[in-house]
Amino acid sequence: MGLFGGSKNKAPAAAAESVTLEDGTAVTPTQVVDCLGDSCPRPQLMTKKAMSKMVSGEIVEVKIDNPTSMEAIPPMMPELHGTHMGTVKTDRYWRVIVRKN
């Protein structure tokens, strides 16, 4: 398939795990977008695609291990009618949590 046509052989994302944000709020994402191993602009495009299919109030977790992509997601939220709720660092990647407005 094409560059962004899903030709990656990743297993479907497991059920979303609860995420505790910096302010102590625990949220459970509606959807997980696995962008581990991907570089710009794929994480941004995959986030945009996921957000376009969501309804108001739904939460998406974007798993990213690329620092540039991680920094690019929060500023995109206004144009995607979303809110950056927080970014949680794990040992190997970031969990960027965003909500559709």
Residues 11-21: pLDDT tens digits?
445 567 899 99
Q: Can you tell me the mean pLDDT for 2-23?
A: 64
How does pLDDT run across 74-85, given as a tens digit for each residue?
Answer: 999 999 999 999
Residue with tokens 């407005």: 101
* All domains of the chain in start order, with CATH: 19-100 (3.30.110.40)
Helices 67-76 and 42-52: crossing angle in degrees, nearest 10, is: 30
Helix (H, G, I), strand (E, B) or coil at 38: coil
Which tens digits make up the pLDDT trace of 44-76? 999 999 999 999 999 999 999 999 999 999 999
Spell out where 1-101 has E strands.
19-20, 26-27, 31-35, 59-64, 82-89, 94-100
Within 10 Å of residue 82's Cβ, how many Cβ atoms?
24
Cβ burial, residue 17 (10 Å; 0-12/13-18/19+): exposed
pTM of the full predicted structure?
A: 0.83
pLDDT at 1: 41
- Which helix or strand (DSSP H or E) is residue 75 part of? helix 67-76
Mean pLDDT computed over every residue of the chain? 88
Q: Closest by alpha carbon to 95, among 57, 64, 58?
A: 64
